[in-house]
Structure 1
Amino acid sequence: MDTSFVKTPQIQQLLDKAAGLQESGGNPRLKAIVRDLTEALMALIVRHDISESEFWLAMKFLGEGAGEIGLIVPGSGLEHFLDLYMDAKDAEAGRSGGTPRTIEGPLYVADAPLVEGNADLSSDPDPDAQVLHMTGTVTGPEGEPVGDAIVHVWHANSKGWYSHFDPTGEQTPFNNRRRIKLAPDGRYAFHSRMPSGYSVPPGGATDQLMQALGRHGSRPAHVHFFIEAPGYRTLTTQINFGDDPFAADDFAFGTREGLLPVPSRQGDSAYIAFDFQLQRAATAAEQGFSARSRAEAG
């Protein structure tokens, strides 16, 4: 059947009623979005002749996989699409420069300890891992140091587990997580135990989806950052280690040009020098964080 079926009066009336277009209350923007989304899904069902069983299997997958939605969204490419869309809007508005944004991922935890100076991120011993030393500066669009910035940094341990999400229960709270208050010169420095990449939970919803698509569910070793400062747009980004075998094939599409430093590995230590550049905020909202749900300790 042709997708023109969705344009018939009966279906169009159904869409209007389901979206509440005939009702005086509610949010007009949400009504328009829900109507368009539902119509697009209906057209998809017709275009691919999706059966009733296939439809309910998909609903079952989404229901049972809700706990992994933070992995399913980046694995589907949607989170990376949002970055590309925001980049395109910036370009359209004539805004350029700054460190590239990239996906946040689902494993941030709010209210990590606030520290100054050369911060030690690792609360737990990790004797099999090299010591990672990372240094650099945070500047604005004219190269001015951003001395009142706070750098949020978090990463996995050498086994690929994040504190607060570690199924072994072996990590202490906020291991490999800190907020670093910068000095007036805009320089930051921290050291920690070298993270490794990770794969999605075996047999979980994301793994099932990746296998059905003929893809893997692995990420390269990486370090996440938020950088916030008054007057500047909050930056959400991460660096992926350029010498990791999955650096060019990240299942979550987090790898971006300009975010692939190669650690200088020397004995039991590895060193990365990486500078961040912020954009000026055009609105107060750009100085904050997105409305995404995030974990909180305790």
Structure 2
Amino acid sequence: MNEIEKRAFPLFNEAHSADIVNARIGSDVDPRARQIAETVVRHLHAAVKEIEPTHEEWLAAIRFLTETGHMCTDWRQEFILLSDVLGVSMLVDAINHRRPETATENTILGPFFVDGVPLSTSGTNICLDGKGEPLVVQAQVVDIDGVPVKGAIIDVWQTNDDGFYDVQQKGLQPDGNLRGKFESDAQGRYWFQTVKPRDYPIPADGPVGKLLAKLGRHPNRAAHIHFIIQAPGYETVITHIFSPDCPYLDEDTVFGVKESLIGQFEKLDDPLLAEPLGVTCPFWLTTPVFVLKPVGHGAGK
């Protein structure tokens, strides 16, 4: 038996690098973990072979990932931001939420959701800082057959008119500013007062922002309001409504815009309509309908 035949694993060579690395995975490893590891190694080695980076370029990549980790805090997850701007967050979400065409589409959660917001009554004004153009949201939750869904719980949140979420400006914005939770009535309806959403930049002072600049990309998100809709027996929907006049609809930096999520916003200047709603003129109105898919219902049915 020669020296090569004695070896438990093949030694490294460029041509078969990925296979050599994957051969080291243990025989009793969880099959899913094996599949993920083998696939990542294959694609990573293929990318390195295509790029042929210099040592300096590879070290720069490692420094970038190190800086990304150092930037993470309780309220800022720079790795999620990196996943977002590379379109990976939206791809993972799309794979995991394939629904019938009639059902409301998902989009990314984002890093600024706050759990435990207290329930408010319909008609509540969630804008606590008084900034921005008044907007009335009159919404309905139905199933894929158009039947109203009673008792759905809807979380809502957005930035203020300066482009910041309340948790980004502790002590500057009122706690809970532009956040609300509502329950749909027997007709699946609920409504609330807020302000017209505006575009805003994602945090761009870290390594992800520097990456965007190097790639000639801006950091701006299209104007939107976040929604999470939950109801027993239905798939939870995490989605947005986008303002149709936003200049960044076609180039939202995290790829969150889908055609079906672009809302219809109407500007009204009618005191007879404004008075019963408790808003001043002029004000904006949008009337979204959220369509829920029953749990277990086929994606293409």
**2:263 aligns to what?**
261
SS in 1 for 2:168: coil
Cα distance in structure 1, aligned partners of 2:14 and 2:202: 37
Cα distance in structure 1, aligned partners of 2:197 and 2:101: 31
Whether 2:117 is the aligned partner of 1:107: answer: no
Contact 1:116 1:182 in 2 (8 A): no
Whether 2:156 is the aligned partner of 1:146: answer: no
SS in 2 for 1:258: helix
**1:227 aligns to what?**
229
Whether 2:38 is the aligned partner of 1:35: answer: yes
Give the C-alpha shift of residue 268 in structure 1: 4.0
Give the C-alpha shift of residue 6 in structure 1: 5.5
SS in 2 for 1:189: strand
Whether 2:244 is the aligned partner of 1:242: answer: yes
**2:296 aligns to what?**
282
Distance 1:53 1:233, change over 3 A: same
**2:20 aligns to what?**
13
**Paired AA for residue 121 in structure 2:** E
Whether 2:135 is the aligned partner of 1:125: answer: no
Distance 1:154 1:12, change over 3 A: same
Q: Normalising by structure 1, what TM-score?
A: 0.82
Contact 1:16 1:35 in 2 (8 A): no
Structure 2 residue runs without a partner (length 5+): 1-12, 73-77, 269-280
Give the C-alpha shift of residue 280 in structure 1: 0.7
Cα distance in structure 2, aligned partners of 1:279 and 1:154: 23
Distance 1:40 1:190, change over 3 A: same
- How many pairs does the alignment contain? 267
Distance 1:230 1:50, change over 3 A: same
Cα distance in structure 2, aligned partners of 1:36 and 1:16: 13
**Paired AA for residue 104 in structure 2:** T
Superposed CA deviations along residues 6-25 of structure 1, whole A, max 9, x for unmatched, are 652x65232221xx324x3x
Tell which structure's C-alpha radius of gyration is larger. 2
Contact 1:104 1:237 in 2 (8 A): yes
Give the C-alpha shift of residue 97 in structure 1: 2.1
Q: Normalising by structure 2, what TM-score?
A: 0.82
SS in 2 for 1:115: coil
From 188, 191, 203, the equivalent of 1:189 is 191
**1:172 aligns to what?**
174
**Paired AA for residue 86 in structure 2:** S
SS in 2 for 1:53: helix
RMSD after superposition: 2.2
Cα distance in structure 2, aligned partners of 1:165 and 1:62: 24
SS in 1 for 2:124: strand
Contact 2:129 2:177 in 1 (8 A): no
SS in 2 for 1:114: coil
**1:163 aligns to what?**
166
Superposed CA deviations along residues 137-162 of structure 1, whole A, max 9, x for unmatched, are 10001111111200111100001100
From 40, 44, 47, the equivalent of 1:44 is 47
Give the C-alpha shift of residue 178 in structure 1: 1.5
SS in 2 for 1:191: strand
Cα distance in structure 2, aligned partners of 1:30 and 1:116: 46
SS in 2 for 1:44: helix
Superposed CA deviations along residues 34-84 of structure 1, whole A, max 9, x for unmatched, are 122022111211111022221221122122123222322121111222244
Distance 1:6 1:147, change over 3 A: farther
Give the C-alpha shift of residue 218 in structure 1: 0.5
Give the C-alpha shift of residue 32 in structure 1: 2.1
Q: Which moved more, 1:229-238 or 1:67-76?
A: 67-76
**1:295 aligns to what?**
none
Contact 2:156 2:181 in 1 (8 A): yes
Cα distance in structure 2, aligned partners of 1:280 and 1:247: 30
**2:208 aligns to what?**
206
Contact 2:142 2:188 in 1 (8 A): yes
Contact 2:18 2:45 in 1 (8 A): no
From 57, 62, 77, the equivalent of 2:87 is 77
Give the C-alpha shift of residue 238 in structure 1: 0.3
